[in-house]
Amino acid sequence: MPVVPVSPTPEIAVAPELVVTHGTPLLVLFGSNLGTAAELAQQIGHDGTVRGFATTVASLDDYTDNLPPAGAAVIVSASYNGTPPDNAAGFCRWLGGDLAPSALAGVRYTVFGCGNRDWASTYQAIPTLIDTELAAHGATRVHPRGEGDARDDFDGQFRAWYGTLWSDLAHTLDLPTVDTDGQLARGHRYEVDVLTAAAAPLAATYNATTFGIIENRALQRRDGTTPPARSTRHIGLSLPDGLTYRTGDYLGVVPRNPPTWCNGCAPGSSSRTTPACGFGATSRPNRTYPSTNRFRSSHS
Ligand SMILES: Cc1cc2nc3c(=O)[nH]c(=O)nc-3n(C[C@H](O)[C@H](O)[C@H](O)COP(=O)(O)O)c2cc1C
């Protein structure tokens, strides 16, 4: 089994990664509106490349009516009120359509679902549908379907599913198993980036608009004999010029991090000289914590 050293990116002083090459096709497909499933797919794709697969990462819609019976496909998808993410709608329509029972014979796959039990009646609706329909049309499940619940321990659930993914793929595809402790170099697990877009970097990540707060008042008295343990507040927001809203639009609330946490993350400094920084898992193969999002902190 050839082992090819790959240089680290220049700014990161870590041991080189070792890539084991065998070139088996690995398709990592995602259905994602807000980025969680897409980011997991990118991480899986990276890990596949390091393990020697010829990896392609793409949206589910890019592979509508085009699932190859070669190598394997790892599918990561969210659900939105029981319907597919925007970039998986065509794929799901095709899969639920008029397909012969053996149309997908030879396709090997597994599915991980990004969901949230707050949507109780449609929890994991789309990953479940994809998994069921693939099997119903002759595809072979090579690793059990996994579920991540954003209301619970999503990362732990992902890790539990991910832990045996590569050995299951190696077994099914008759590949050499990679000893991750021995053959893949160890590097650091986390990165801290200094962000140049200091103004509302989180909003920029989601292509969102920030609102001003024009009213913020407590709705419960706290000076009685039995003050409530929790705070309930009425919050009024001002709509920026030219922006309207309608039912179903998303409103994200970003809590402010305590300054001590921010200072703890600021690289090489406990002062307030760093306006904003991002902290997240590296994309290196040896990490044990597959962060689904990068965390950002701001001193402003
Ligand atoms: C408006 C909305 C509707 C959702 N509907 C569902 C649902 O029906 N079933 C489910 O399991 N999760 C549901 N979720 C949770 C998302 O699927 C979950 O947060 C997922 O990680 C988002 O992935 P993405 O960032 O890749 O789009 C919903 C989330 C939102 C914001």
pLDDT of residue 193: 61
Question: Would you identify the CATH topology of the domain 3-173?
Answer: Rossmann fold (3.40.50)
Which residue has the least CA distance to atom 16 on ligand 1? Answer: 115
> Which ranges in the chain are annotated with CATH 3.40.50.360?
3-173
Per-residue pLDDT 10s for the chain (300 aa) are 434 344 443 333 444 445 567 899 999 999 999 999 999 999 999 999 988 899 999 999 999 999 999 999 999 999 999 999 999 999 999 999 999 999 999 999 999 999 999 999 999 999 999 999 999 999 999 999 999 999 999 999 999 999 999 999 999 999 876 655 454 444 455 566 665 554 556 666 666 778 888 998 988 877 888 888 888 889 898 888 888 888 777 777 777 778 787 777 665 554 555 456 666 655 443 333 333 333 443 333
Q: Indicate if ligand 1 lies below 6 Å from the C-beta of 252.
A: no
Please state the atom number of ligand 1 nearest to the C-alpha of residue 248. 1
pLDDT of residue 246: 81
Handedness of CA 118, 282, 164, 175 (dihedral sign): positive
CA of 12 to the centre of ligand 1 (A): 35
**What torsion, rounded to 10 degrees, do the Cα atoms 166, 167, 168, 174 define?**
100
Q: Indicate if ligand 1 lies below 6 Å from the C-beta of 205.
A: no
Q: What is the pTM of this model?
A: 0.66
pLDDT of residue 273: 52
Greatest CA span in the chain, whole angstroms?
Answer: 73
Best residue among 92, 119, 124 to mutate for probing ligand 1's pocket (most ligand atoms within 8 Å of CB) is 119
The span from the CA of 39 to the CA of 73, in Å, is 16
Q: Indicate if ligand 1 lies below 6 Å from the C-beta of 114.
A: yes
pLDDT of residue 190: 58
Which residue has the least CA distance to atom 21 on ligand 1? Answer: 114
Q: Indicate if ligand 1 lies below 6 Å from the C-beta of 265.
A: no
Which residue has the least CA distance to atom 29 on ligand 1? Answer: 80
Q: Indicate if ligand 1 lies below 6 Å from the C-beta of 148.
A: no
pLDDT of residue 299: 37
CA of 123 to the centre of ligand 1 (A): 8
Please state the atom number of ligand 1 nearest to the C-alpha of residue 34. 25
Which residue has the least CA distance to atom 1 on ligand 1? Answer: 80
Best residue among 114, 128, 153, 158 to mutate for probing ligand 1's pocket (most ligand atoms within 8 Å of CB) is 114
Query: Is residue 232 a contact partner of residue 220, using CB atoms and an 8 Å limit?
Result: yes
pLDDT of residue 15: 43
